[in-house]
A and B are shown apart, each in its own frame.
Chain A
């Protein structure tokens, strides 16, 4: 279908206009996806949180509260944008866009199905990691420019956290890249199509890598139990204390989109992306996005489960976990994986 639209556009328009329209179309598609995913993840989070605490959750706006987050978004859009007078206005306004844009760019390389992938580059995994850690600059800017001690502390913690946990995310993905021998996301999936999902191929070291990735990924998205950046009980609201209305909503949405991105990376690298389990629906193309969504929702559910079970770590515990446990384990795991591949013990 995408191919036919592409061909049709190039047949009715001159080349420059056609590629321009195509870019606009893709941008609109991704922005819509962004908004829809963001809004419904917020709703999912609230529902799941309620169920974990034996509550009912949003159930007033629309059937089962389905329109709750839309109403919330509408409220946030109509709200006045306030700010502090002593804030560094330029950076203060720039920060939310940094966070949003990096999330969008990261989303562009994720293969939703075999053909829906805006940007298939040969350094896919590396690109994802690089881009997703730029988001922290937005948080640092927001915290710094608000001219508020809580924001600054939150932002500094975010910096510390991202620098530490970026290592674990990278190394755990590297463990899996040893199996595929390529960084290109589409080829990683092609490899899994042939030999089975990577988590099965790599068995024990792959499962360890997956666990480390989930822990570090949760930390990357600044969610509980790693939400020191926002830490409501000690820092007000952390780095976005001084933000209101739509600017606050950008930070809020970006957090959920980042969760989606981490889940998508996990699904693509460990669970075969849009592939069906054991290839049961191999040829049916329209099932591909459904498999992808099902797996992503599963991983997101896992992250929500973490959030509503574990208490927040202290900053020293956070660093101890990374430098004393995750990192050495990760390095060991890479060596084990290399040995497994060398001896041909993969499944």
Chain B
């Protein structure tokens, strides 16, 4: 008898599977998962979790939150980040202070591990959603994250 039970069970599970794919088939026209990429370039939005490249957001006054503490440089396992800094005189207090000159990021070496972003104490760097990262020369992949003329936002260091 268990022989017939096996057959019954087998057919039942096969039909369950077929009903699931059948449902997909009927809904395919409405909810196709395909992104026709170059055609929908203007409207395509990457999901929030996506790790495209490390960016440093600047606000409208061209100020960022990076203090030049170099924690991200130390955290990076493969040396993709280099901070070039020097001591400058703070115009407000008149004291000498560590400031970043350039935050250099080598996209070509980055493994998108996110350790630098977790290490940053002031949340100065973030994940960008740009995915069109191919270039014709490797040297284009070395980026300076802080914009020229930008300075650290007041109050971030406290």
Contact = CB atoms under 8 A, between A and B. Distances in A.
B29 interface: yes
Nearest to B4: A329
Contacts of B17: 309-310
B25 interface: yes
Interface of A: 48, 50-56, 305-306, 308-310, 325, 329
Interface in B1-33: 7, 14, 17-18, 20-22, 24-25, 27-29, 31-33
A54 B33 contact: yes
B27 A309 contact: no
Q: Would you list the 10 A-B pairs with minimal beta carbon distance, nearest first?
A: A51-B28, A56-B34, A309-B21, A54-B33, A309-B17, A51-B25, A55-B34, A56-B32, A52-B21, A52-B25
B36 A56 contact: yes
Interface residues of B, number: 17
Nearest to A51: B28
Contact of A55 (B18, B20, B22, B33): B33
Nearest to A302: B18
Contacts of B32: 54-56
A209 B58 CA distance: 72
A305 B28 contact: no
Contact of B24 (A52, A306, A310, A325): A52
A54 B22 contact: no
A304 to B, nearest CB: 10
B40 to A, nearest CB: 12
Given A51-B29, A329-B7, A308 B21 contact: yes
B21 A305 contact: yes
A308 B28 CA distance: 14
16 contacts: A50-B28, A51-B24, A52-B21, A52-B24, A52-B28, A54-B31, A55-B32, A55-B33, A55-B34, A56-B34, A306-B18, A308-B21, A309-B17, A309-B21, A325-B7, A329-B7
